[in-house]
Chain A
Amino acid sequence: MKARPRPDEGPVKVTAQVAVLGIRHHGPGSARSLRAELERLGPDVVLVEGPPEADALAGMAADPGLRPPVALLAYVPGEPSRAAFWPFAVFSPEWQALRHAVEAEVPVRFCDLPAACGLAFRPDVPPGSPPADGVPPRAGGPGAGAGPGEPPPPPPPDADAGPGAGGEPAVRIDPIGALARAAGHDDPERWWEDVVEHRGDTPFQAIAEAMAAVREGYVPTGREARREAIMRRAIRRAIKDGFGRIAVVCGAWHVPALAHAPGEGPWGAGLPAAGADDALLRGLPRVKVETTWVPWTYGRLAARGGYGAGVASPGWYHHLFVSPDRPVERWLTAAAGVLREEGLPTSSGHVIEAVRLARSLAALRERPLAGLAEVTEAVRAVLCEGDDLPVELVRRRMVVGERLGRVPASAPAVPLARHLRREGRRVRLTPEAPEREHDLDLRRPLDLERSRLLHRLRLLGVGWGVPRGGRGKGTFRESWTLAWRPELDLDLIEASVWGTTVPAAATARVRDLAAGEGARGGVPLAVLTGLVEGCLLADLPEALAEALDALSARAAMDGDVTHLMAALPAMARARRYGDVRGTPAAGLAAVADAMLGRICVGLGGAVTGVNDAAARELVGHVDAVHAAVALLPDPSVDPAVPVAPGTPAVPAAAPEAAEGARGGGEETPRRRWLAALRALPGRSGLHGMIEGRLTRILLDSGELDAGRVGTLMARAMSAGHPPARAAAWIEGFLSGGGLLLVHDARLLALVDEWVTGLTPEAFTGVLPLLRRTFGAFAPPERRSIGARVRALGAGAAVPGGGTGGPEGMEGVDEERAAPAVRAVRAILGRTSGTWRTRA
């Protein structure tokens, strides 16, 4: 046990007084007791569980620029993905120990296993688990005890089921929590207050006794034994260095190993001899390690997403630590404040009733005081009137908290910055202040690497490079403007909270954005498609999977089909990056397919009852989706036959047969889309422009034959519709397609038939509208159309519909056409087969 300092105990020999103070990591109750105990003891050196490499950094706790939550980071230079974090919040006992030491101006030493040894072990990745690239492995794997080195690093590897931790009993991770649970409390902090602190003497005495009982007969092995040996060695050295009053702050679990026999007497009685410890520590592997401070967040500290270790409610702990008294009342008042900010009326009466309910619930559960569980129930039942949404708001804002730490500029460079520097050297990009332009050809590996690096930095919010100009020169070219501004250094420090390497940090950042914790009403669809595109451009396959999940979830909830339609082309486009960039885009096709399904289902509702502006917008969307559908993978069709959108279906002979042959039972995206479109024309309430455009698309893709189109057109043009709608129909039908009338006599005949069939009055009525449509065509187009119309009038023998073939075929001299056809077939790569002549 610890030798309690007694004023009357004269040092007979040079005996140092060693107080071993067992704490609960990140426990506010522990932190408060510790601070009081340290002030009472007045030690002349404080030993804290942590990596000794960081001794030099401990003094920075005095810097007001270092504001918790922060984390000590130890990493292997040159290999920044091997790193470990030791987070500190204001309510962490370790932080309070540091603060006490700097305020009392006594030295602080860290006394845990050096990070140099911890990081020397590469945690063997269990087979089948995701590669831990960029994921900081916890110092040497989750060994013994819940040292501050054990909390969850940003995207933590499987914290509790890591190698060697398979059967780790919970009691070693959080022995005080285990004791509390054994006593039937789910909030160890409350239990600490109720049971430990309300005992007469110092709580540390009680904890040491409890731990001695818990550890009865337990012999530490492996890493844990070495850690405790190191701690003992650190204490011995402190004694040798002549310190008289030594305070050791360590996890409660270790107390019996550091201060064996409870009671009085010189330190060290009953502990392994120095020689045994030395033998244990001989020949430990070491790597070169650097340390620094990085900012941390409460969100990070919180155990979210199913990772075992960590603090579930940093905000609540913070509250317990900083509120001087009446924590329940203060908490509920603050919760009411949060709800009021959101415009939910919450009166003082509510708060009073919530406090009463929390108390009565605590009494029912036979707890001396209300804890977080009771308080949350009171918030739900009284303040939020049973609604879970505001409860979640309170959880996010208060229970977890949104506090972000700060690190002064004097802290050593973060590994992210070093990694960036190295990466920059590798791809030969130097951070320079003047702007420079780079044209990248993505077919070259170096340029591809550069592009990826720049895209990753953009995702991280470090705007070193800015893409220049639009995409349009093909998918393999990119232009960037590069300039390194001083504030980018700060951006890097801020971004270092996400990880230690550029790809790892970018991945974590995308994950966070896609999860959209902060966004009200969810992340907009456009942001998510942007993220997916960003992931593909930046080659972040892990983040891509999550962004895609978020996207498909969002797409399912988005009731506005136009949003989906706007998002689909980007997805189809993104799918093609895979080819240029070698990025596997698995899953993308499935999401795009699901989105198409939703568009097809919802399109009918979206196109009816819209005004002119919305119709124009929708026509644009329909065109874009139609083009995108052609890019979607079509499992049953030979990929060598591209379906060109916007041009007439290739062989006019038998489109149904072709469709039937490739259909093969499974519906292709194209067929689903066309089927959805086909259901629309003729609906009531459909805007003329949309109907015209849909008819044209269906005609072009061979879904409708000319006769049916003629019927639709006649109906659209009939007197039952106001002239404006008829004009809109023609506009939609012919949008951007003047040339088509030149080459497709069939279409021209339809239009001509309709125009000539109009009564004189009706003709006068629609003339201005027709002029508006035809006026948009280029003059040569108009001239050609005029010439064709004259020819039609002369021949007057154009059969309207039926054959379905381009009318140009009528007068073809097959003898003379044969060489040209052969050449075209050679270009298309179809040398076999015979040229089928028209019967």
Chain B
Amino acid sequence: MTTVLRAHAEDQYAEELAILAEEDDRPRPAGWRLSPRAVTTYILGDGDRVTPKYIGPRRVVEVAVATLATDRALLLLGVPGTAKTWLSEHLAAAVSGDSTLLVQGTAGTVEEAVRYGWNYARLLAEGPSGRALTPSPVMRAMAEGRLARIEELTRMPSDVQDALITVLSEKTLPIPELNREVQALRGFNLIATANDRDRGVNELSSALRRRFNTVVLPLPATTEEEVDIVSRRVGQLGRSLELPAAATGPEEIRRVVTVFRELRAGVTEDGRTKVKSPSGPLSTAEAISVLTGGIALAAHFGDGVLRPRDVADGIVGAVVQDPVSDRVVWHEYLETVVRERRDWHDLYRACRDAG
């Protein structure tokens, strides 16, 4: 545990899970380590011994847990940086005590990754047999009655996605070569994550879509919350990347977060001006990287204090993803919003210089 770079959720929070399991007196669905109520508490924290894993609306977590308690699969949607993977890992850890049954969806994911493959040496030596079979994480989850996780479902090719339909509707995985099938035990379910913006990559077929309940993970609700998350992460990253210390006023962080939030929401914080949104997601994670980059600039090439010009290039780079339409959006925002703010003149000038 000490030499591992990153521990699994069920190991890292084993203590909290044990406490919850011990005190949990509510009925547990078959195959579950905890009752749905306790799972919710594990994710959201109880303000005492259980730390919050996900900071966000309670109803999101409740709908997700309630979905898993029915036999419907759960699809977590959201723009990048909204803790989809994080939430799915912790759900799996709390429900099954095992977050490792994971399939990473990529353009190159093959059907074997969600069904089963063969150990060809055995296959040639012994012919088709149970021992020659290499089960996929999904197949193992079915056989053991646990949660399987699929990351970036929409990045998988459509034919691979569709291999899940039988699994989800019939809860069985036929192995015609052996004239056998694997029937899912109680407790089996599937959590998939998908990027909102990537919907177009390999849009889910409606047959598959119909088998998922969809929960959209929102972006941080208030500026305060987001400034808090950003400044904490910027501090942590700065330490772990061993950046020279640069003085970061909370004001600069707030301005970057405000720019990101306003462009993302399409309306200014005071609600008086509508603005267009650029094509990029402008997630909290990007705000963090803009600031970390700015701090590096300020520390290595500037006077050690984070100045508007240190973040301007980062902001423009994050906002202007599409060189034509985003530039119009950005300039409109600059001219109609940033220019009007009295105390933002330095940022305005820096951004104009940055392009």
Which A residues form the contact surface with B (CB < 8 A)? Answer: 345, 347, 349-350, 353, 356-357, 360-361, 363-366, 373, 377, 380-382, 384-388, 549, 552-557, 559, 594, 597-598, 600-602, 605
Contacts and interface: CB of A to CB of B under 8 A. Distances in A.
Contacts of A361: 62-63, 66
Contacts of B62: 361, 364-365, 377
Interface in B302-338: 324, 328, 331-332, 335-336
A554 B214 CA distance: 31
Contact of A554 (B40, B75, B266, B274): B274
B300 interface: no
A601 B331 contact: yes
B276 A559 contact: yes
A818 to B, nearest CB: 47
Contacts of B275: 556
A594 B273 contact: yes
B134 to A, nearest CB: 33
A363 B69 CA distance: 10
Given A357-B70, A601-B335, 13 more contacts: A353-B70, A356-B72, A360-B67, A373-B59, A380-B63, A381-B63, A386-B216, A387-B216, A388-B216, A552-B273, A555-B274, A598-B336, A601-B328
Contacts of A549: 272
A365 B209 CA distance: 26
Contact of A377 (B36, B63, B209, B276): B63
B214 A381 contact: yes
A380 B67 CA distance: 12
Interface in B52-90: 59, 62-63, 65-67, 69-70, 72, 75, 77
Contacts of A360: 66-67, 69-70
B215 A381 contact: yes
A816 B70 CA distance: 100
A386 B335 contact: no
A514 to B, nearest CB: 13
- Give the most central of B37, B77, B266, B332: most A CB within 10 Å: B332
B197 interface: no
Contacts of B75: 386
Interface of B: 36-37, 40, 59, 62-63, 65-67, 69-70, 72, 75, 77, 206, 209-210, 212-216, 266-267, 272-276, 324, 328, 331-332, 335-336
B214 A552 contact: no
Contacts of B212: 385
A594 B62 CA distance: 43
Considering the complex of A and B, which 3 residue pairs feature the smallest CB-CB distances, nearest first?
Answer: A386-B214, A556-B274, A553-B274
Contacts of A363: 36, 66, 69
A660 to B, nearest CB: 21
B154 to A, nearest CB: 13
B335 A364 contact: no
Contacts of B40: 364
14 contacts: A353-B213, A357-B67, A360-B66, A361-B63, A361-B66, A373-B59, A382-B72, A385-B214, A552-B274, A556-B275, A556-B276, A598-B336, A601-B328, A605-B328
A557 B66 CA distance: 38
Contacts of A366: 37
Nearest to B40: A364
A594 B210 contact: no
B59 A377 contact: yes
Nearest to B59: A377
A377 B324 CA distance: 39
Nearest to A595: B336
Contacts of B273: 552-553, 556, 594
A601 B72 contact: no
Query: Chain A at the B interface: mostly helix, strand, loop or mixed?
Result: helix
Nearest to A602: B328
A196 B72 CA distance: 34
B70 A356 contact: yes
Contacts of B332: 556, 597-598, 601-602
Contacts of A594: 273, 336
B210 A349 contact: yes
Contacts of A554: 274
A549 B63 CA distance: 36
A377 B215 CA distance: 9
Nearest to B268: A556
Nearest to B68: A360
A9 to B, nearest CB: 49
Nearest to A358: B66
A601 B328 CA distance: 7
A364 B59 contact: no
Contact of A357 (B37, B210, B213): B213
Given A356-B72, A364-B69, A386-B77, A557 B266 contact: yes
A575 B66 CA distance: 57
Contact of B66 (A349, A364, A597): A364
- Give the most central of A347, A364, A380, A549: most B CB within 10 Å: A364
Contact of A557 (B59, B77, B272, B274): B274
Nearest to A561: B328
Contacts of A350: 210
Contacts of B213: 353, 357, 381-382
A602 B333 CA distance: 12
Nearest to A587: B272
Nearest to B210: A349
- Give the most central of A373, A556, A598: most B CB within 10 Å: A556
B335 A597 contact: yes
- Give the most central of B66, B72, B77, B216: most A CB within 10 Å: B66
B328 to A, nearest CB: 6
A265 to B, nearest CB: 47
Contacts of B331: 601
B4 to A, nearest CB: 34
A386 B217 CA distance: 9
A510 B275 CA distance: 23
A600 B332 CA distance: 9
A511 to B, nearest CB: 16
B76 to A, nearest CB: 9
Contacts of A380: 63
A386 B66 contact: no
Contacts of A357: 63, 66-67, 70, 72, 213
Contacts of A382: 72, 213-214
Nearest to A550: B274
A364 B35 CA distance: 9
Given A364-B66, A386-B77, A345 B72 contact: no
A388 B78 CA distance: 12
- Give the most central of B70, B267, B272, B336: most A CB within 10 Å: B336
A385 B328 contact: no
A18 B2 CA distance: 77
B215 A386 contact: yes
Contacts of A381: 63, 67, 213-215
Contacts of B272: 549, 552
A364 B59 CA distance: 11
- Give the most central of A345, A347, A350, A382: most B CB within 10 Å: A382
Nearest to A353: B72
Contacts of B206: 345
Nearest to A356: B70
A385 B336 contact: no
Nearest to B206: A345
A602 B332 CA distance: 8
Nearest to B211: A353
A316 to B, nearest CB: 17
A373 B206 CA distance: 26
A549 B274 CA distance: 9
Contacts of A553: 267, 273-274
A364 B209 contact: no
A386 B213 CA distance: 8
A549 B273 CA distance: 8
A382 B214 CA distance: 6
Contacts of A373: 59
A494 B335 CA distance: 44
